[in-house]
Amino acid sequence: MTAPGRHLFTVGREKTEERGIMGGTVENKEWFLSSYVAEGVPTSEHLKIRTVRVDVSVDSIPEAHVAVQILLLSVDPYLRSMMSGQKGGLDLPQLEINQVVSSFGLGRIIGSKNMHYKSGDLVVSPFFPAAEYCVTDSIFLRKIDDKDSQIPLTEYLSALGIPGFTAWVGMLLIGIPKPGENIYVSAAAGAVGMYAGQLAKIKGCRVVGSTGTDEKVNLLKEEFGFDDAFNYKRETDFDAALSKYCPNGIDIYFDNVGGKMLEAVLNHVNKHARIPLCGMISQYNQVWSNREGVRNLLNLVGKEVKMEGFLIGSHIHRRGEFAAEIEGYMKQGKIKSKHQIYSGIDSFLEALASIFSGSNVGKVILQLSK
């Protein structure tokens, strides 16, 4: 195995010229945490980019390690919860100051001292750095079998990645939808919401989604097959909106937002409703004591509702089952995806901020190379 020189190699399904590799080292831009984000959305004050050189020559790769060019990075709301400097509701480890941000990503092996990987292999990892290259051990890598696959690489970060798995766990393992039930999904045009809603449709439910623009309302109904959808920013009274859009009550609320919407939902739950709590994007940018509380939890008693938080890490042993099911739906055209692609490592911060402004549609992906 030789060190990657200045040659053409395949990225995704396109051939591109490798940039910046000089004598075994590459110029590598990486995002790091400069200061903690007490409240609000991360800005250039908190996240900064720097250029380092990384030696990716085989001689310098440690035993059992590989060198990876990162092609795609997943940009997800939970990243915000690692930047506040104190463990929050998601209970995630906090980045150190100056530590490189990490995220789920897809890359190509460009050098290997690990017998299980060779140059050209495509791999995903939940812990790639927000950078263009890395040298890493293989413990978190999973090889993608790209042969004969009709699946676009971006789907490994989306329908087959964290969002798809999150939707599958929350909707199917916790929500357990039954045909004819009434489902409501908030942040429904987001990365997780679009799959959560489509999975419930596949299971024979009536599915309603909310989102933040009229364009996304149309997307939900026309592209993703939701039975109905509404723009929550146009609704001054969530309670009235739910009476209108969910006239038969709610059997499963797939909660992506928390706060006032969750409170409104609790006035519309049916007997024995289930509320998988996936995350609460309305809550991430505030310190908890400033948040608006949910005042009607007593409704959980009267309607005998189960509300359950989940993280996909606890269900990782079911990943194979998930992937087989979703790939099946994809082949049958039953699952559609919408991706918002940002280009180049410089765009990482913009991509992350877009999630919280609601300007994104579908899964936000950063494409580093194509």
Query: Which residues contact a copy of itself by CB under 8 A?
Result: 87-92, 258, 262-263, 272, 277-280, 283-284, 288-289, 291-311, 314
- The least distance separating a copy of itself from the CB of residue 259, rounded to whole angstroms, comes to 9
What residues are paired with 366 via a beta bridge? 73, 342
CA gyration radius, the chain: 21
Contact 71, 12 (CB under 8 A): yes
89 φ, ψ (degrees, to nearest 5): -60, -30
Q: Using the minimum distance from each CB to a copy of itself, give the nearer residue, 132 or 251.
A: 251
Q: Using the minimum distance from each CB to a copy of itself, give the nearer residue, 134 or 278.
A: 278
Q: Which two tokens stand for residue 54?
A: 């990384």
Q: Could you say which DSSP state residue 96 is in?
A: P
- The least distance separating a copy of itself from the CB of residue 293, rounded to whole angstroms, comes to 2
Count of positions (residues) in the chain: 370
- The least distance separating a copy of itself from the CB of residue 110, rounded to whole angstroms, comes to 36
Q: Using the minimum distance from each CB to a copy of itself, give the nearer residue, 4 or 190.
A: 190
- What residues contact residue 255 under an 8 Å CB cut-off, 6+ apart? 186, 261, 262, 265, 275, 276, 277, 278, 280
- The least distance separating a copy of itself from the CB of residue 263, rounded to whole angstroms, comes to 7
- The least distance separating a copy of itself from the CB of residue 267, rounded to whole angstroms, comes to 9
C-alpha distances out from residue 298 to 183, 247, 301, 302, 363, Å = 21, 22, 5, 7, 35
- The least distance separating a copy of itself from the CB of residue 243, rounded to whole angstroms, comes to 15
What residues are paired with 26 via a beta bridge? 21, 54
Element (H, E) at 28: strand 25-33
